[in-house]
Structure 1
């Protein structure tokens, strides 16, 4: 069984105005006192109005959901004790004219010195899914096969249409903001492990990025854990939806391993098409069309059906089929989180939006 773990990033906001609240140190200190969260499970992020949680290594999707609900509750309770709330949105719907302070670590301060405006606008939150790999060679093989599905995962996960008090016209404005860093977007196709390491080393040797932590590809090999990390998804309103993505990514990894062993050639979507497909997914979410793994435009529902057929046997083998299928069906019925944010704002204004994006700590 392939193991899985999830990291989620949240915004800390004022409960009335939704403006970012730079209180991460206070919230972390309070969360550490709670018996339901270990210190290592709750971390700082780049800006002091952000906080991150990380589940332990899990083998069942039920474990993932349980840990996420536990950690969301711990952080939400700590935030409330410090007169703020956690907002589960991929972008800050509103922001102050003054930048949020950077967390005072050497790495983050260096990033601010090199790209001040980009750092000031990093009020964005994603979800990172780690799947266990036996070795880096297998990880590269999975990357090569999974990369063509990243725009589909992004389109399903969109949760950031609002920025600076207005609708951006994009379903995931986070993706556009993050795409401005030197190394970002879909990873290239690699000839093997040596090619992966040589490209990563070449980027470091160029001096443009200081460390492998700034390989912001939408999927990459972890440098800290024996995992492959999928980073394209926006943070999800509800823990159940994060569980759905964990099941899908595990299914993609298992399918990739099976195809690699069987000698099935991977789909080779051209890099410029894959980049364009990513932009299209960030723009429209699931409301329009998507580019399929072969580079053809189809309806979003058709591409989603292709994805489920592709990973169907792996979902069955992992025991994830019923749960993932049910959650995908729910997504199609009620729309993406970006759709729900827009509906809330249109129907009842900022109070309804605030209620929606701050409720995820207590909902499945």
Structure 2
């Protein structure tokens, strides 16, 4: 069974105003000392109003869901002890006039010196899925095959429509904010591992990025684990939606591995078209057309059904087909988390939005 794991980033907010609260150090320590999480499962992030959790390596989708619920509860309990709450939104819906302090780590401080305004506005939270691959060469081949599906995954995950108390007009404003860094968006097509490494070496040597950690491609090889890391996803309101997305990502990697072994040619999409498809997905979520892997504009429902058909063999083999398919169908019926945020704000104002993204428990 192909192994995988999930990382989620959470925002700490005031329980009344929903403004970001710089309490990450206390929350991280309290969560790590509590009965629900190990210390290394809860980490600092760039800004002091954010924390990140990481599941252990998993083989079953049920494991991922259980760990995410456990970690969400651990961080929520620690946050409540500190007088704040965890918001499961991928962008802060409100910001204070003063910037949230940067976490006092050398790498983060260098980033602050490099791009102060970008760092100040990095109040965005993602979900990263790591999927095990046999070796880096195979990992690059997987990247080449899954890159064409990244806009679809992004559209499905969209959960950041609000910024400074206003609707941005984008379903995933997080994607737009992240896109301002030098190396971001969908990765290019690579001519093998040597090409991948040469491009990265050239970027670091240029001095424009400080290190490999600033490769913010939406899919890349992990430098810490023997995995492909998919990073295009907004953090989710509900843990089961995160499980759905993790299952789809693992299935995409499984299909890519099978196709590579069989020698099937990958679908190649021009970088400018893939970038445009990504922007379109961030703009509309599932409320418009999507650009499919062949570059055609189709209804979002049709593209999602094509995705399910593409990964059906892998989902069937892992035993995840029924769960993932039912959650995809629910997503099509209810809309994305961005749609739910907009409905809450429209129907009940900021109190309803606060209840949705914070609630009594971040598990959704």
TM-score scaled by length of structure 1: 0.99
Q: Is the 8 A contact 1:144 1:189 kept in 2?
A: yes
Deviation of 1:359 after TM superposition, in Å, equals 3.2
Q: Deviations over 1:202-222 (max 9, x none)?
A: 111111111100000000000
Matches within 5 A, 1:180-191: 180-191=180-191
Partner of 2:199: 199
Matches within 5 A, 1:95-244: 95-244=95-244
CA distance in 2, matches of 1:192, 1:116: 35
Q: Is the 8 A contact 1:6 1:129 kept in 2?
A: yes
Helix, strand or coil at the partner of 1:188 = coil
Q: Is the 8 A contact 2:73 2:363 kept in 1?
A: no
Q: Is the 8 A contact 1:185 1:216 kept in 2?
A: yes
Deviation of 1:33 after TM superposition, in Å, equals 2.1
What residue ranges of structure 1 are gaps of 5+ in the alignment? Answer: none
CA distance in 2, matches of 1:321, 1:360: 31
Deviation of 1:27 after TM superposition, in Å, equals 1.0
CA RMSD of aligned residues (A): 0.8
CA distance in 2, matches of 1:133, 1:343: 40
Deviation of 1:133 after TM superposition, in Å, equals 0.8
Helix, strand or coil at the partner of 1:354 = helix
TM-score scaled by length of structure 2: 0.99
Helix, strand or coil at the partner of 2:6 = strand
Helix, strand or coil at the partner of 1:8 = strand
Partner of 1:250: 250
Partner of 1:38: 38
CA distance in 2, matches of 1:316, 1:331: 20
Q: Structure 1 stretches (4+) deviating beyond 6 angstroms?
A: none
CA distance in 1, matches of 2:27, 2:247: 30
CA distance in 1, matches of 2:194, 2:114: 30
What residue ranges of structure 2 are gaps of 5+ in the alignment? Answer: none
Deviation of 1:362 after TM superposition, in Å, equals 4.8
Matches within 5 A, 1:51-90: 51-90=51-90
CA distance in 2, matches of 1:359, 1:306: 34
Q: Deviations over 1:156-211 (max 9, x none)?
A: 00000000110000000000000000000000000101111111111111111111
Number of residues of Structure 1 aligned to a counterpart in Structure 2: 364
